[in-house]
Amino acid sequence: MIGNKCCKGKLLLALALLTTVLAVAAVLLGSYPLTLPDMLRGLRELPLSREEQTMATRVLWQLRIPRMLMALLTGAVLGVCGGVYQMLFHSPLASPDLTGVASGASLGAAVAIVLGVGSSAARMGFAFFGGVLSLLLVMLLVRFAGGERVGTYILAGIVISSLADAGLMVMKTVADPERQLAAIEFWTMGSFGAASADKLLPFAVIVLPTLLLLLLLHRPVSMLSLGNDACRAMGLSPNVWRTLLLLLATLSVSAAVSVSGVIGFVGLTAPHIARLLYKRRSGAFLLVCALMGSSLLLAADIAAKTLVAGAELPISIFTVAAGVPVLVVLLCSRGRREA
């Protein structure tokens, strides 16, 4: 038992170190290269006025660090929420992408853009409403279908995602092609190119408390993953706790979508890699999901802004590429079990 705990502790330490290294690399790498001395100089120049700071310091504090923190938090949110969805829905394929939440939140953000809503907080509210509405429609469709099997949630999520995508196409049709259409395209591809210090604060105010709550509530999540009867036997109301946890997860995902757009497959990939490394879905499993999600998204963001000189690629190119092998492994393992 002691040896097992030691191994888990080493895993957490290794993932934390990997995330830290990727975070530092994300700050240093980009179209305007920075060095470690630039970072140290930036710390010394932080109390100075903006006019007194060097260009490297302004880039560091106004662009690079906010972008890194947004990628770090967004990856943690998608990783944790993917783990929560998979455990609550009893489905290895449940994720913000495949349960309709990400598409609904993206549609909500697109509606806000077309209506001319300017503030990040208001867009986040629209995204949250779209995400919650999609989640409710998925659950209603599952209940109407008369089954809560693994495939039922996925099929319902595909239906609602398709409906939200249709709404997104309508928003693109009526959007102003010079200003609003480009902003909507941003949501559909995913990018941290518009990250800034001004956008970081409202995002962090929403995401940090909900993320912390989900991590602290890992025991109810684990109990719900055992089924309603087991949950009641342990003194918990499954409907109340499931609703609370799904709302917290949906709020987190919607906040992430409102600042970064739809970033595919992180919520699916991170929990499966975490399960492979951690060997179980209890204890610090959600924390491992958070670190894995942050590492994946930081690595994808580094690739997106450095692989092509003078251009920035959509992050989803890299996250989907990382998610495909995971789906292949799931497909093969399921095929061997059913053989």
pLDDT digits (tens, 9 = 90+) for 108-134: 888 988 888 767 667 778 888 888 888
With a CB cutoff of 8 Å and minimum separation 6, the contacts of 116 are none
How far apart CA 147 and CA 166 sit, in angstroms, is 26
Q: Is the per-residue pLDDT at 142 higher than 90? A: no
What is the reported pLDDT for 210?
92
Q: Is the per-residue pLDDT at 49 higher than 80? A: no
Q: Is the per-residue pLDDT at 21 higher than 80? A: yes
What domains does the chain contain, in order, with CATH numbers? 74-338 (1.10.3470.10)
How far apart CA 299 and CA 294 sit, in angstroms, is 8
Cβ–Cβ < 8 Å for 201, 269: no
> How many CB atoms neighbour CB 306 within 10 A?
16
With a CB cutoff of 8 Å and minimum separation 6, the contacts of 13 are none
Sign of CA dihedral 38, 12, 241, 334: positive
Q: Helices 238-260 & 101-114, crossing angle to 10 degrees?
A: 50
How far apart CA 291 and CA 284 sit, in angstroms, is 11
How far apart CA 296 and CA 279 sit, in angstroms, is 19
Say which range, 19-33, 40-54, 73-87, 198-212, has the weakest mean pLDDT.
40-54
Q: What is the pLDDT of residues 289-330, one digit of tens each?
A: 999 999 999 999 999 988 887 778 888 889 988 888 877 877
> How many CB atoms neighbour CB 33 within 10 A?
11
Cβ–Cβ < 8 Å for 211, 73: yes
> How many CB atoms neighbour CB 49 within 10 A?
7
